[in-house]
A and B are shown apart, each in its own frame.
Chain A
């Protein structure tokens, strides 16, 4: 953390001018067609590199631009790994399942530019059972999950174990950075995942053992109390959440899972917004990455809404708050 971020923050301030604000989001929502949306985005510098002009290619290209820009600003990118661990564990999940069913689905892997571990290394480690190729904290869970899948064939259990390991990794590495924004990101990621899991487990009638295996520890939730509440009934979950900092989320959880996801993303954006005025720390860089991810997520929702002819209202209620 001894790196000096004055130069980097000044560059981020300039780049923040290119972020999409709520007026651009309104224009996108008001656009009559997908093509019109693409034109509006192109006016704001969004484009896909190469010949592939699909929405996913454009979004991937925008994400790549963000990471290239951040790469120019800091020598040590590892501090931002907290944003990439979810992709590593997704690839681990894909590799284990692929190895179990003995078929290949190259499209399920997230590109190595968005990961801390090359997906090919993960695949090799799982197929050849050479777990030492994996990072230390991934080895045990990879071995355990492979064994569980082989013995039980339970894909959901495999998902739960890996998701929990990913959440613990995100939470711990966020804390380890010592930066408030990254710590908050780790905390909110774990807490929102735990709340979603508790609600889903309650609706599908899962037992307390399942909940204890699925919930990852964090500071803002008592996972034992949450598991007990989820084992009881839905009102018990709301009653527990009412005593936590997530009381505001209850109406959104009741509305729909997507409304709760939107609430979680908006909460992160509101928490990082003070970074707009921070002149010299890593905070504005982390906030810029999160703002860009949030922007990409909202654009994806709008574009898929336009492509699938969804009503403006249903798309609008899914679009996130903007950072600027």
Chain B
């Protein structure tokens, strides 16, 4: 017997919701990284999408060239991407802090183009596939739907990383320093905290989050040089909708929008690519600062 909701079989509905939840967890990780970076550096990191792509490629390369397994890739790739971010901050972004924030956006946009171009030159646009690690092959039949193990793992892993980040920032001493630096960096510096180092490491962490998302995404989507650039535009819209004032807000908005996108795919597939932007327009009309935002 098929259970139906509004004429849609429940299997199809739940299947799309699952995909929505996965997309939503990627939105959550990426917008979380953007929000952390924005809080401390006041720049929007346009390279975020390219760094997500970099993470996926790093995982693919470590598997293909070094024969490293998934778990090694899951740890090494974000570290490598984070290290790249640290270099970027130290040698480029740091020179722009005294200028209008738009220059940070332009610089990171240029870097995103370079990264995308280099990988397109090396690997073409057709995409490489990364096989799902052995222990996650197959899935479980939950009676009402089929749940592939790897997809379950992606949701669990990304949500744990998101909430761990939230916990560190909102509930620990390190996080208290971080929040203080977001409010008044000069004052914190006067108390003897090395704020520039903190900024560098924070940027590195935000970027590493993008790399981590990239590794998680590698077995689900094709690994291609352009995988990040289309995603990042949606994530920007997520950030506008949520507002960058709150860590938990970024996570919740990301997941919610992923789910809404999944639902749209069931009921009105043509609009599924647009729904996030429509919501963005509505939020701008009703609550311009974003759902969790405050005017800066």
- Tell me, yes or no, whether A binds B: no
Which B residues fall within an 8 A CB radius of A? none
Which A residues fall within an 8 A CB radius of B? none
